Structure 1
Amino acid sequence: MYNNRIPDLNRRAFMKRAAAVAGLGAAAPMALNLASVGEAAAMDATDYKAIVCCFFYGGNDYGNTVIPYDLPNYDLYSAIRGGAAGRKRGGVALAHSELDGTALTTLTPQTLTNNIQYALAPELTGVASLFNSGKAAVQLNVGPLVVPLTLAQYNSGSKAYPLPPKLFSHNDQSSVWQSLGSEGSTVGWGGRMGDLALSSNGQSLMTCISASGNAVFVSGNNTLQYQISPDGAIAIWPTKGWVFGSGEASNLLKELITEPRTHVMENAFNAVTKRSINMETIVNAALDPITLTTSFDQTNYLAQQFQIVARLIAARNALGTRRQVFFVSMGGFDNHDGLMTDHPKLMAKFNSAVTSFYNATVELGVANKVTTFTASDFGRTLAYNGDGSDHGWGSHHFVIGGAVRGGQYYGTAPHISLETDDQVGQGRLLPSTSVDQMAATLGKWFGLSGSEITSVLPNIGHFATSNLGFMG
């Protein structure tokens, strides 16, 4: 029987989460959103590893991110996207000459569909260099699936071939990517991996961390995400200084929001608040001595997020962490129009941020212990609408890190076409690889056993392999 819902790994999760969110309707900082942590789970790691999800909100345009470079396939791409004669820029097609600096060269020869060769968006020079040096890989045509699907099965509408919920919807598909459930899901697969890693960390609240606000990806059953800002732990400022010009009032407020209460909900709220205040002191004390020589662009918010993640990794010994899951993100990818103006700017920001982050892991000596991957609501149509592209399904994504078997493509390269059976219309890719398979490959590297991977990803058994091979 197929399963679109993820079972709780712990029946007590509901009570823990209910206590954690009590009172969140008040105008309190998101620093209050720290849950009580349950019993330690199975993993008992002795080394350090971290997974970092970089999410592109809005649906990244795969067609102008990983681009056909060999001339026959480039010409198909250009014609579909309204390109100009002479392989020049036109419609929403990049000029062939713009791709010369980001052409990808595989470390081991590969023959892909129709002998396709790829280049990256012209702004992704750093990512292309990481690929060509074996530190990055491209996972081709990956997206949410419940079971493997052919085009005929997709078109049949049969319940024997269930689809991910609410395809092509921003909110639902970003949730499916992060949690494998539609909008409203409360537990992500990164958080479920974190649940299994709690026993490896001295500071269990440092297991699942978002540098980008609330994200279901890093919410677990036994642990909720710890949210951090680019400047460090988020403070509850009225408890740190003067309230209405009075230090005494500030101290009284701190006492009111942290003291034990007889009402169960009030008591739970105050316990969470007290934990937040205590963790601010612990986290910032660990971060204060950390200085990185790697430069991050301070005008680039994604780079700032990656920088605080790098600093937390640098502070891993002080924080007593051996397994961590991080989340960073950027928005602006819903490019129905302005694709040729807006998408290059987004690619440039991503390139700068992720290249600096990889360099920081090298500086810290943990490049082979930290793996970054990209994700997005969905891919977009290969067909253009005059000034952009529309909602799609499958997409191409990056995996970056010293442990990645880089300089290679993984999965099946789709045809450059609007009519082949690997897309569902207008160049919307029908995924040939599932998010579950990508997650399982990362999970195995992270240290999960086969049974633990099944508990995190209950649909993984529907697919022929749970290891895509991109991790060493």
Structure 2
Amino acid sequence: MHLIDPARHTRRAFLRRSGQLAMAGTALPFALNLATMGEAAAQAAPGDDYKALVCVFLYGGNDYANTVVTYDTDSYGKYSQIRGGNGDAGGGIAIARAQLLPTLLAPTQALPGGRQYALHPSMTALADLFHNEGKVAVQLNVGPLIAPITRAQYDSGNRKSWPVPPKLFSHNDQQSVWQSSSPEGSTVGWGGNIGDLVLSGNTGALFTCMSVSGNAVFLSGDQALQYQVGTGGAVRIYSVGTNTGNLFGSDTVKAAMQQLAQQSRGHTLEEEYSKVVRRAVKAEGQVTTAIQSDFPAGAFPANNGLASQLKMVARLIRGRASLGVKRQVFFVSMGGFDLHDSLIANQPGLMQRLSDAMAAFHRQMATLGLADQVTAFTASDFGRTLSYNSDGSDHGWGGHHFVVGGAVKGRAIYGTPPPVSIGNTAADADQWHVGQGRLLPTTSVDQYAATLARWFGVPDSQLDGILPNLKNFGCTANGIAYPRDIGFMG
């Protein structure tokens, strides 16, 4: 197999943005830098209908084994023993088997070998959506890969023949690798690359890539830059924005500041700075108009930070016509998943907030008649170890994830069920982990992303340009199929 080295990968032939006026950030909020984007000449995704992708990133590395929990008798017994439990009663960091029965998954097509899974007991909302509406898919053991690789090849240390993602098991680096295929310091993510391809189809190009969770490399493209909003709406520019109060108790002072910040200037750099301010002020007004009124009380769960972010995404999608967009990529996130300790105490609340928020978001999309046009999916730094350290788990590699939406081929579990094992030698018959139950992914992030991108409208001819390792897949290796399209999207 010919391997593509991402360090030498030539990205598609878009012009790099010539400058980002970093000095503007010293005087005005970072949001102003986002407005430096000019009109982009890029290929639009086919079709005139609206579509959106929503990345739900779980910062800290979610524990895969207690999220999608192995349930069949043989596998559960191994899981319980490895995690410090006492058979079906659980214990240690193993969830008792009886607790899993309400969220036991019954996929339309049974898994080979009699394997069964249940969701975390707190994830009743997603379990109901899985069964009753068939709008949830579970993707097993997905993570960053450069090319297919086995445990023995990994253990060989021969990285020229068997390359692996850079800086495995590092939080910051693996967050970046998941979002951009490169470690910390990367400036272009695959969500932004997708955004580049659809800019010309959006009259409001600035609103193609939008984050409700601060800066994320996932949304940065060659031309597409992320526009950041908060859970309350557009980020206001103090003393300059249209929706702020007066300055120092005086409307006159505010008017003078607005004129100074936005007036045309003869000096090239000063004029570019003024353009940035004018665009940002205009964008603030557009967003404020687009989000309109809030959703009714109870539409989204209260006291749930992720739900608040997804509610803002829903309001922006509802106002898509006002923003002038036909294709959008969004980013939201949760933190708190780095559970080396207190896994049993803290993960239930995280899982419930995730489940409730994603289910509520999907139902609001359905109410708006947009369920088939909006797809949300999870991602995380990495999975964690199957082994435990008395009260938690350590950094891993592959993990299990969710895809939710009307176009999802749901009530299904995709991918290869991983071993329930922590054997620490290459001779271990259950070789699809690299020690301590750190899963060696059998589905790559590039495959996961390509499946979503194809549904979004990215042509097959463009996929290799936005996902640098995808050329190494579309094959069967080591008895595992690695399709370019996993098949969970309709």
Structure 2 length as normaliser, TM-score?
Answer: 0.92
Corresponding position of 2:48: 46
Matched residue of 1:317: which SS? Answer: helix
What secondary structure, in the 3-state scheme, does the structure 1 residue paired with 2:277 have?
helix
- Identity fraction in percent: 49
When the two chains are superposed, the root-mean-square deviation of aligned CA atoms in Å is 1.7
Which residue number in structure 2 is paired with residue 205 of structure 1? 206
Look up the SS of the partner of 1:34 in the other structure: helix
1:160 aligns with 2:158: no
Q: 1:63 to 1:315 in 2, by over 3 A?
A: same
1:253 aligns with 2:257: yes
Q: Residue 457 of structure 1: CA displacement?
A: 1.1
**Residue equivalent to 1:220:** 221
Q: Does 1:471 align with 2:476?
A: no
Report the counterpart of residue 451 of structure 2 in structure 1: 441
In structure 2, the residue matched to 1:117 is 116
Amino acid at match of 2:247: V
Structure 1, gaps ≥5 residues long: none
Secondary structure at the counterpart of residue 29 of structure 2: coil
For residue 295 of structure 1, give the secondary structure of its aligned residue in structure 2.
Answer: coil
Q: Which residue of 1 aligns with 2:191?
A: 190
CA shift digits 1:38-87 (9 cap, x unpaired): 423112431111111000000000010000111211111000000135x2
Q: Which AA in structure 2 matches 1:267?
A: E
The residue that corresponds to 1:372 in the other structure is 376
Please give the secondary structure, in 1, of the residue aligned with 2:53: strand
Partner of 2:386: 382
Q: Distance in 1 between matches of 2:420 and 2:462?
A: 38
Give CA-to-partner distance per residue, 1:19-51, whole Å, 9 cap, x none: 353432446253543331342311243111111
Letter of the 1:145 partner, please give it. Answer: L
CA distance in 1, matches of 2:202, 2:14: 22
Q: Name the counterpart of 2:6.
A: 4
| Contact 2:4–2:468 (CA under 8 A) maintained in structure 1 | no
**C-alpha distance after superposition, 1:189-230 (max 9, x if no partner):** 011101101122121111111011111111111110011111
Q: Is the contact made by 1:19 and 1:268 (CA closer than 8 Å) also made in structure 2?
A: no
Secondary structure, in 3 states, of the residue corresponding to 2:253? helix
Ranges in structure 2 where 5+ consecutive residues have no aligned partner: 424-429, 475-482
Cα separation, 2, equivalents of 1:359 and 1:102:
19
Question: Which range is displaced more, 263-272 or 312-321?
Answer: 263-272
Q: Which 4+ stretches in 1 moved above 6 angstroms? A: none
Superposed CA deviations along residues 426-472 of structure 1, whole A, max 9, x for unmatched, are 00000011000001001110111111111111221100221000001
Contact 2:176 2:217 in 1 (8 A): yes
Q: Any idea what SS the aligned residue of 2:140 has?
A: strand
Q: Is the 8 A contact 2:28 2:237 kept in 1?
A: no
Counterparts of 1:80 and 1:130, CA distance in 2: 31
SS of the residue aligned with 2:282? helix
1:256 is paired with a residue of what secondary structure? Answer: helix
* CA shift for structure 1 position 242: 2.2
Pick which of 188-197 and 4-13 moved more. 4-13
CA distance in 1, matches of 2:14, 2:48: 28
Choose which of 61, 66, 69 in structure 1 pairs with 2:63.
Answer: 61
Contact kept, 8 Å, 1:20 with 1:33, in 2: the verdict is no
Structure 2 residue matching 1:374: 3-state secondary structure = strand
Deviation at residue 257 of structure 1 after TM alignment: 2.4
Match in the other structure for 1:394: 398
Amino acid in structure 2 at the alignment position of 1:274? R
Q: How many residues align?
A: 467
Q: Distance in 2 between matches of 1:275 and 1:401?
A: 33
Structure 1 residue 258 displacement after superposition: 2.3
Structure 2 equivalent of residue 271 of structure 1: 275
Matches within 5 A, 1:171-186: 171-186=172-187
The match for 2:438 is 428
Is the CA contact (8 Å cut-off) linking 1:193 and 1:443 kept in structure 2? yes
Distance 1:129 1:31 in 2: 42
Cα distance 1:143–1:377, how it changes in 2: closer, same or farther (>3 A)? same
Q: Is the 8 A contact 2:14 2:222 kept in 1?
A: no
CA contact (8 A) 2:39 2:205 kept: no
Matches within 5 A, 1:302-381: 302-381=306-385
Shift of 1:109: 2.9
Q: Deviations over 1:105-158 (max 9, x none)?
A: 0113332xx421000000111111122231111111000011111111111121
2-structure distance, mates of 1:12, 1:261: 27
Following the alignment from structure 2 to structure 1, what is the Cα–Cα distance between the partners of residues 14 and 121?
A: 49
Tell me, what secondary structure is at the counterpart of 2:247?
coil
CA distance, structure 2, for counterparts of residue 3 and residue 23 of structure 1 = 36
Distance in 1, Cα, partners of 2:89 & 2:26? 54
Aligned to 2:466: 456
The structural deviation recorded for 1:241 is 2.4
Given that residues 34 and 227 in structure 2 are in contact (C-alpha distance below 8 angstroms), is that contact kept between their aligned partners in structure 1?
Answer: yes
Between the aligned partners of 1:458 and 1:177, the Cα distance in structure 2 is 12
